[in-house]
Amino acid sequence: MTNDPTKLTQRFALGLSVILLTILVLIPLALVMWRSFTPHGDFELLGPLTVVTQRNLLEVLINSLLLGVLVVLGTTLIALPLAFLAARTEIGRARWLDLVLLIPFMTPPYIGSMGWILFMQNRGLMDQFFPIFGFTRSTFFSMWGVVLVMSLHLYPFLYLILKNALREIGGSLDDAGAICGGTFFYRLRRITLPLIFSSYTMGALLVFVKTISEFGTPATLGRRVGFYVLTTEIYRFTSNWPIDFASAAALSSVLLVTSMIVWYVQSVLADRYQYSVIGVSGAPSRLESLGRWKIVAWGYVILTLAVSIGVPYFAIVGTSVMQIRGTGLVLDNLTLSHYGEIFRSGSLANRALWTSLRLAFGAAILSLLLGTFFAIVVSRTRGFFARLTDVSSLLSNTIPAIVVIVGLILLWNARWVPLRIYNTEYILVLTYTVLFLPFTVQYVKANLSQLGTSLFDAARVTGGTPAYTFRRILLPLIRSGMVAGFIMTFIIGVRELVGSLMIRPPGTETTATYIFNQFEQGNASLGMAMALVTIGVTTIVLLAIQRIPTTAEL
């Protein structure tokens, strides 16, 4: 048995990290699985399926899977042409396009969904400004509207993956195919698509998981049109009387297993259809001129931006300045009083804003400390428990958030838990921390992977203590990753919806719950004003991150 202080410190740190992650992540997930297999108190091997069939929830499961498939198709139809245009044609010179296309993805889905509803509803902004499209209302307020809104939210994700894949494989093989007489569609089918298939399956399956895990759009638009999915039913079982944790756990376990199967399928497909280009340079070919098709191509790009960004934001901004919604967007009906209500000291809106800022800041600090600790432990240790720490610290980023939240409810609401933080604001801080901990872990691990050992060896040779080495060498080198993780946790925590709705203590309002409740209660103008303030705050923080020096500059 070694008495090396460094080895003992590493073992202690590894043991502490395993204990912390077991409490934060593993026990909640284990409780979800256990509760799902004991719906009536006794262990039932087919407990989750029994609940699904007995409670007539099979349709809900089918709806979730169908929605996932249709959104994958929708995002593909939108993203694939955009990615091809950006990677292979002169449109790729428009550097601003990638930044603008991130706006739908960075907009909270429940806010984008509300914008679409306000635009499309009877006597909405479409009726006032674009009445010719009124015939689309019945189609929108159906399952197809949910598919449309979610596809418009997620297509930038698939777009970036496909565009990067197209640029990585270059255009040499495509040029060779053209020289040999291959038509455009032949080259697309036999050269381009096989080479990007691995990247596409990864992106498509990620979109599928994000779709079946999403709560915001199904809760706002889906419930309005009677299209219920797993996430909305889990919320109903944990929030509406009579509370039914058994059914919520059963649906959560089904959602969890489905997500895990998708991740496994993705890894198998990625390994099986991974292609290597031998003997041909991967340098990208020159961006082709579109010629007479330039107007058509730019028209498609502008139409996509108008539908995915213009429509919802026009409705959000317009509604936020309306005094009386039924009067429409006319000069005499414009007001800034809703924004004044948000910034009026003591108002419910103002308290909700400051509560979200305070809770998100607390979660960002806690996530910063824990995430940095876990990342350092994983990078400095080896073995089974190091791998367990690595997987556990990233687990909440790979499984549906609502499953994690149900697990946290089952754990911290249990009578045998000595720490009574349930029904306090601390449970929200803990929830945000668990959900967004992977951001800090990933960013700090990325910094650590770039570091060599020479500086640390030099510090030991010159007599530097571990504390001195950490403070003067390690900490400055990983500071950019720590700050990036802090920022991401903060900005997402400010506008987080599903955890805030399900686990907040009585009488506590956050920006997300305030927006959701105001919209549900018919006071959409106040809700949309709060939505814009929230988006503005997070945008300012994102812009501020660009002023943070990088590791190299430090």
Structural domains in the chain?
61-277+293-323 (1.10.3720.10), 345-376+422-547 (1.10.3720.10)
C-alpha to C-alpha distance for 176 and 53, rounded to whole angstroms: 56
Structure tokens at 14: 């590894």
Calculate ∠ Cα 57-58-62, nearest 5°: 120
The whole-angstrom separation of Cα 435 and Cα 438 is 8
Per-residue pLDDT tens, the chain, 554 aa: give them.
445 566 777 788 888 999 999 999 999 999 999 988 887 777 777 778 777 777 778 889 999 999 999 999 999 999 999 998 888 888 888 888 888 888 887 789 999 999 999 999 988 899 889 999 989 999 999 999 999 999 999 999 899 888 888 877 766 666 666 667 666 666 666 667 777 777 888 888 889 999 999 999 999 999 999 999 999 999 998 888 888 888 888 889 989 888 888 878 877 776 666 655 554 444 455 566 777 888 999 999 999 999 999 999 999 999 999 987 777 788 888 899 999 999 998 899 999 999 999 999 999 999 999 999 999 888 888 888 888 888 888 888 888 899 999 999 999 998 898 888 999 999 999 999 999 999 999 988 888 877 766 666 676 676 666 677 777 777 888 888 888 889 889 989 999 999 999 999 988 999 999 999 999 888 899 999 999 999 888 878 777 665 655 444 44
The SS3 call for residue 523 is: coil
Q: Residue 288: beta bridge partners? A: 89
pTM here is 0.87
Instruction: State phi, psi for 334 to the nearest 5 degrees.
Output: -90, 140
Closest CA to 224 of 499, 516, 500: 516
Least Cα distance to 341 among 529, 152, 543 occurs for 529
